[in-house]
Structure 1
């Protein structure tokens, strides 16, 4: 029972391992005995089996990075992300389009029993109100087609962050029904606001009071290590039948909303929805 999570000796990929939740996830996986291969736009200080500089805005960079890792991959952790302070199309490419393209490349290296976990956000909770629109983008074929769809629908994309996270959520649920037929699972997390290097940008973009409202009922920001725990659990052997799930890692925020115990008034003032930093 010493390896109850099942990571010892497993080959895993972590995108966004430079800082925040991605760095915390990579460190935890190393501690659990996994062979961890990292991808990021900036160099990582984590003790990894390999590290490759990859730009999720560039499909060729993604393809080269995955090809360089090669071999069997047992789990993928999509942790890379940009806040809404970046250009909208950069945000869309990193947070969804590049994430999807990376996953599609890694899937070629996966066999039954493998698993994928991605970081979404409470900022994407509008997905349930416009599933047909999300499905238009989610079902595009290839990186370029997804970019073209976004460029033709910038009034929907807007600042990029909320829409990108909506599509991570919808795509995860859509792909769950397909990949499980291959014995591969896919899930995503909904983090509460998390104290990472990007938090200052989230507070500036949405308003600190709006971000802090999403810390209810716990009353504090989560830590990257706490968020890493949720990601690692989803891809573990213990979660062998957990699939297509949007998993709140939020100290009770979603439960509080559902039962009327969270005051949403601050978040409903016309500002962007609160977002969990990565």
Structure 2
């Protein structure tokens, strides 16, 4: 039972392994004996089996990275992402957080054979997904990176600043693909982190406001760490979670539960958002 999670000798890909949750996830997987292949836009100082510089805004870069890894891939961790709130162009945020993530996944799935696991990082910032399912289904019907990009550019009013819509898209896509991929023996899930102390936090504070971010950190009362977010990602892609599929897992210290039962006051988030708008 020493390898209860089943990662020893498994070949895995981690995108966004330079810093934050992606780096913490890669480190944990290395500790568990996995053969870790990393993708990032920036060079990485980790003892990985391989590292490829991949820009999720560029489908050719994604395809080259996956081709370089080759062989059987057992698990994919989609950890790369950009913050929103105007910190980056909305289309770049959409490319990295959804379009590139989807394209990377579509390139890796054929390498998984009849068994594999995929997990992506969404966000509690994507909670509006259930109100926009018909819109997101239009995006999901697009085939390929360029068609998805064309849809986003034609629907800039829906994309808005990019972050919330991109994370909503990850959530809807995860649930949609769960029913598709499981027939091939492949699971796909996503997590919803609450505010986490990573290099992105400075951008979130600058663009959304510290009061808004702090409100999303209740009832825990603090930001989570990258390591606290990495653990559930590794668990959900492990052998222990063999029939966990198509789920949207809050990793938020009780934010979602508090919200559902009226114990989290989101008026600060709403009023601050109105002031900014």
Tell me the TM-score normalised to structure 1 length.
0.97
Contact kept, 8 Å, 2:122 with 2:193, in 1: the verdict is yes
- Match for residue 275 of structure 1? none
- Match for residue 17 of structure 1? 17
Structure 1 gap segments, 5+ residues each? 273-278
Give the secondary structure class of the aligned counterpart of 1:44: coil
Which string of whole-angstrom CA distances, capped at 9 and with x for unpartnered residues, describes residues 2-25 of structure 1?
Answer: 000000000000000000000000
Describe how 1:156-235 pairs up with structure 2 within 5 A: 156-235=158-237
Give the secondary structure class of the aligned counterpart of 1:181: helix
Tell me the TM-score normalised to structure 2 length.
0.97
CA distance in 1, matches of 2:149, 2:68: 25
- Match for residue 54 of structure 2? 54
Which string of whole-angstrom CA distances, capped at 9 and with x for unpartnered residues, describes residues 131-177 of structure 1?
Answer: 00011112210000000000001011110000000000000000000
- Match for residue 111 of structure 1? 113
| Displacement after TM superposition at 1:113 (Å) | 2.5
- Match for residue 79 of structure 2? 79
| Displacement after TM superposition at 1:270 (Å) | 5.9
Which string of whole-angstrom CA distances, capped at 9 and with x for unpartnered residues, describes residues 1-53 of structure 1?
Answer: 10000000000000000000000000000000000000000011121000000
Among 89, 92, 111, which residue is 2:91 paired with?
89
- Match for residue 131 of structure 1? 133
Give the secondary structure class of the aligned counterpart of 1:109: helix
Among 143, 146, 151, which residue is 1:144 paired with?
146
CA distance in 2, matches of 1:147, 1:129: 22
CA distance in 1, matches of 2:266, 2:24: 30
CA distance in 2, matches of 1:187, 1:250: 16
CA distance in 2, matches of 1:250, 1:112: 32
- Match for residue 43 of structure 1? 43
* Aligned residue pairs, count: 272
CA distance in 1, matches of 2:38, 2:141: 28
